[in-house]
Amino acid sequence: MITYDDFKKVEISAGKIISAEKIPDTDKLLKLVVDFAESIETTREDGSKMSITKPRQIVSGISAYFPDPGVLVGKTCMFVTNLEPRIIKGYQSNGMLCALSTDSGSFSLLEPNASIPPGTQAK
């Protein structure tokens, strides 16, 4: 059991998958690039400021459920977004995909309805 205050520390956000590919020489791993509508400010050559969207890379062990990772592109799913970065098989992962599976092999991504934009946090 954890306290409610501990649970409030977990940041769960909607993210739109913009690319998905199998990580070579692994059975389970996919490399996802996910848009959380996070932006960073940068400076153009002329000195003016601009904001650009900065997607995150997330490594997920769901390859067995998606023989064609391309079917994930465009899906908005829920992710834990405040985990410390972790290196998995040489790839940095900056979050965790939320999904469900059963012992009998059923699997489901946690997907919000279509009206929820990337970056929306669970409350």
119 conformational bin, left if phi > 0, alpha if psi -120 to 50, beta if neither: left
pLDDT at residue 15, as a whole number: 98
Residue 15 belongs to domain spanning: 4-41+48-109
Enter the pTM of the model.
Answer: 0.88
Answer whether residue 117 is part of any domain.
Answer: no
Answer whether residue 79 is part of any domain.
Answer: yes
CA distance 90 to 92: 7
The sign of the torsion formed by the CA atoms of 82, 86, 39, 19 equals: negative
Q: What is the pLDDT of residues 90-114, one digit of tens each?
A: 999 999 999 999 999 999 999 999 9
pLDDT over 70, % of the chain: 100
pLDDT at residue 18, as a whole number: 98
List the CATH number of the domain containing 14. Answer: 2.40.50.140
Q: How many domains are contained in the chain? A: 1
CA atoms within 13 A on the CB side of 25: 4
Answer whether residue 123 is part of any domain.
Answer: no
Answer whether residue 114 is part of any domain.
Answer: no
Q: What is the pLDDT of residues 44-75, one digit of tens each?
A: 888 888 888 899 999 999 999 999 999 999 99
